[in-house]
Chains A and B, each alone.
Chain A
Amino acid sequence: MRTICFYFQVHQPYRLKPYRFFDIGEDHHYWDDFLNRSVMRRVAQKCYLPMNALLLDLINKYEGGFKVTFSMSGTFMDQMESYAPDVLESFQKLVTTGHVELLNETYGHSLASLKSKSEFQNMVRNHQEKIKKLFNGYEPKVFRNTELIYSDQIGAMIAEMGFEATLTEGAKHILGWKSPNYVYCNNIEPKLKVLLKNFQLSDDIAFRFGNKTWADYPLTTDKFVKWINNVPQAEEVINLFMDYETFGEHQWAETGIFEFMKHLPEAVFKHTNYGFSTPSEVVAKVPPIGKIHVPTPISWADEERDLTAWLGNDLQDEAFGKLYELEKMVNQIDDEEIKRDWTYLQTSDHFYYMCTKFFSDGDIHSYFSPYDSPYDAFINYMNVLSDFILRLKEKIKGQEAEA
């Protein structure tokens, strides 16, 4: 039997408050608690709570025939604990069914894999601990890197940490004539399996669902079932990877997205030879068809499927470079608040807000940014970072004085 693998990314960054030059050296609280809380509450009402309830119903209805996978960033889990314990409870219920898989990622939803192996490993371990703590000792077996960023080298790092599989984008420029609907393995460490996102079908749901100018609007379960039946029989896995906030937040309830999901499993069971699996089930069942060669990093963002949403312009490179210069200093300091701020400052969203690509994908960038312009985002971030650097230096001086 062929299979559909649903994976949902659940993430919220800690957004910075407006932090002025005059605050440097004085104000050490960087986070916009009010904004972060209100976003969390809004998305909880519009997406997390209703969608979790819907998924729980489906899992119960099909007694395990239907299953899904989540990856939750550490910054999301921290905010869930602070602002939305009701959401935490509903996720815990889902995991308890045994038909929900959780993935491991970096705690801070960071881009550390591109810069520092030690920091990357650190972030992965912290995330593991957090999952264990919140979900009754759960131990993830599959890894997903921030923004599905992947390369041969990153894959090798993931394999070294003992993971069976990882997820990434089925980017056209790496696949060429190949299909994303197979299991592949890493080019350096073949024991690491690689699942590729079918971006056509994923984005039909995640991006195009409510778009009335789309030729295939409205997307119905009949139509979707027809499309997956058109996939050649030899192709066994369809990976539908998307942001969890697709449901109710990016695609409002009024678009009918909840109805679509509610009826999709039934249509799949009735009219196709597909079932549903989680990533670790897929790699246990389906043998890899070959190596996938990814010499330079890819991601799931924008038309280019590269890193340019977060890195590449001077604002981003300057901020990113200055941030990771601090790793050594941070590691010398034993202080919970420093460690927390260091983690939250690494979140990819901060660099995403500094993106100046105004062509093609500029719209989606500005939609997600709390800033008026990438320049505002940069200034605010650098002001905060300047204060953070001062704190690091002071702490180190203090520790040296004690010793």
Chain B
Amino acid sequence: MKVLMFGWEFPPHISGGLGTACYGLVKGMVHHNQEVIFVVPKLWGDEEPMADFVNASDISIDYREKRFKSIWKNLTYLEVSSFLVPYLGPEEYKKFTDYAIHDRTDVDESIFSTKYEFSGKYGKNLMEEVSRYALTGAQIARDRNDFDIIHAHDWLSFPAGIAAKEISGKPLVAHVHATEFDRSGESVNKPVYEIERAGMHAADHVCAVSQLTKNTIVKKYGVPAHKVSVLHNAVLDASIIKSTYNKKVPEKIVTFLGRITFQKGPEYFVEAAKKVLDRDPNVRFVMAGSGDLLNRMIDRVAELRIADRFHFTGFLKGDDVDHMYAISDVYVMPSVSEPFGISPLEAVRHNTPVIISKQSGVAEVLDNAIKVDFWDIDAMADATFALLHYEGISKMFKELGTEELKKLKWEHVAAKLVTVYQNILAEKS
């Protein structure tokens, strides 16, 4: 089988977890001798040659193709409706969008220049890039007919997947790694939501990284449950990491590592830390990362008068991430909403016992971890205290956790995906 996959980033040039997951999945597919054409907005040239990579920035668009025009019009509609006119009534809205579509020839001309240099990042031209990426998808689907199925990862590539399906008539799989509800809570970005929804509904089948995510897809996007398969993420390497980095402080260390944003629940970690420190001052808590809630967390830590026991490292990269895991005695991921959440598995690889929120996808695959509701700071404090003080339980989690990790392989995920493909193709024919 040959799959035409649309992604947004690929290792080593990644800024989020999406690229890593795509890498793992492709690797798993290759293990099962499946061929993958992998399209990314921008190729850097140092990607591992495991797939037939296509650099979208190299694709020339044939703007005489009439069908492309209609694809573009749909996208323009999305863009205009979302960013330029947020507060118009329905009638004015229609007038405005009609006007905008016919009037914005300047955009049409620049966007229909034969090639387009993508940044492949998440910058301010994101919407424009997403739209242009869709045209590229259509062009690729027209140029080559050597694939059986189309697979698009997250909303950024959904328009490309939809366009490729329209042009080629091949079935589409939409893979959801995170939804707008995970990223923004209830204050969703409407146009992003619309793209996600359009992608899921246009798709013949949807893959979700956890049951939790599947529930969101069914509930918030109105996709029938039978159309959604759960495909949990896996780990690339389950080996235990023996670090030579030594801890410099005598106290035990409890760590939060991730973006300091609403989604990750940093405030629950701070409140739980206070509770633990009230009982045992000989612990250090570390919040590693950066984000829009960082200053608020610092204020709260100061207000609670625990700043000599609660440290902020800022954004960590490279070896520092490994060092942080290595010196941690407990790892906490109190996410409010986490479609999957790979970081606890990294902690397990460093032999660190983990506490994870029940509102995370990883809780569905990791049995040997303490699971608490993100808002239950008492339970979080109790669990932290127990893992710090009761040797038995932390030892057990360390041993069993690492065993569990070995079962989470990308080739298993890929095998499941191949079955999904086969079912779709069987249904079609």
Contact = CB atoms under 8 A, between A and B. Distances in A.
A378 interface: yes
A24 B307 contact: no
A385 B323 CA distance: 22
Nearest to A394: B250
B313 interface: yes
B221 interface: no
B249 interface: yes
Interface string B220-239: 00000000000000000000
Interface stretch (A159-167, A226-234, A314-322): A314-322
Interface in B295-343: 295, 298-299, 301-303, 305, 307-308, 311-314, 320, 323
B294 A382 contact: no
A382 B307 contact: yes
B302 A378 contact: yes
B304 to A, nearest CB: 9
A115 to B, nearest CB: 15
Best-buried of A375, A385, A390 by chain B (most CB within 10 Å): A375
A322 B307 contact: yes
Contact of A318 (B302, B312, B320): B302
A375 B298 contact: yes
A24 B299 contact: no
B305 A24 contact: no
A379 B299 CA distance: 11
A373 B312 CA distance: 14
Nearest to A326: B308
Contacts of B250: 25, 390
Contacts of B283: none
B248 interface: yes
Contacts of B320: 22
Contact of B308 (A22, A313, A373, A389): A389
B286 interface: yes
Contacts of A389: 308
A21 B307 contact: no
A383 B286 CA distance: 11
Contact of A314 (B247, B286, B299, B308): B299
Interface in A1-34: 20-26
B308 A386 contact: yes
A22 B248 contact: yes
Nearest to B294: A375
B298 A20 contact: no
Given A22-B323, A26-B248, A390-B250, A378 B307 contact: yes
Interface majority SS (helix, strand, loop, mixed), chain A? helix
Contacts of B298: 315, 375, 378-379
Contacts of B303: 314, 318
Contact of A386 (B295, B302, B311): B311
B299 A382 contact: no
Contacts of A25: 247-250
Interface in B237-262: 247-250
Question: Which of B286, B295, B308, B312 has the most CB atoms of chain A within a 10 A radius of its CB?
Answer: B308
A22 B326 CA distance: 12
Nearest to B311: A21
Contact of A21 (B286, B294, B302, B308): B286
B295 to A, nearest CB: 5
A21 B313 contact: yes
A180 B311 CA distance: 46
Contacts of B305: 318, 321-322
Given A383-B311, A389-B308, A315 B249 contact: no
Contacts of B308: 322, 382, 385-386, 389
Contacts of A386: 249, 308, 311
Contacts of B248: 22-26
A318 B307 contact: yes
A383 B248 CA distance: 13
B311 A382 contact: yes
Nearest to A373: B295
Contacts of B295: 373, 375
A295 B323 CA distance: 52
A22 B298 CA distance: 18
A315 B302 contact: yes
A390 B249 contact: yes
Contacts of B294: 375
B57 to A, nearest CB: 35
Given A313-B302, A315-B298, A322-B308, 12 more contacts: A21-B311, A22-B313, A22-B320, A23-B248, A26-B248, A314-B299, A322-B305, A375-B298, A378-B298, A379-B311, A379-B314, A382-B308
Interface of A: 20-26, 313-315, 317-319, 321-322, 373, 375, 378-379, 382-383, 385-386, 389-390
8 contacts: A22-B313, A24-B311, A25-B248, A321-B305, A378-B302, A382-B307, A386-B308, A386-B311
What are the nearest 9 A-B pairs in CB distance? A25-B248, A314-B302, A318-B302, A25-B249, A26-B248, A314-B303, A21-B313, A21-B311, A382-B307
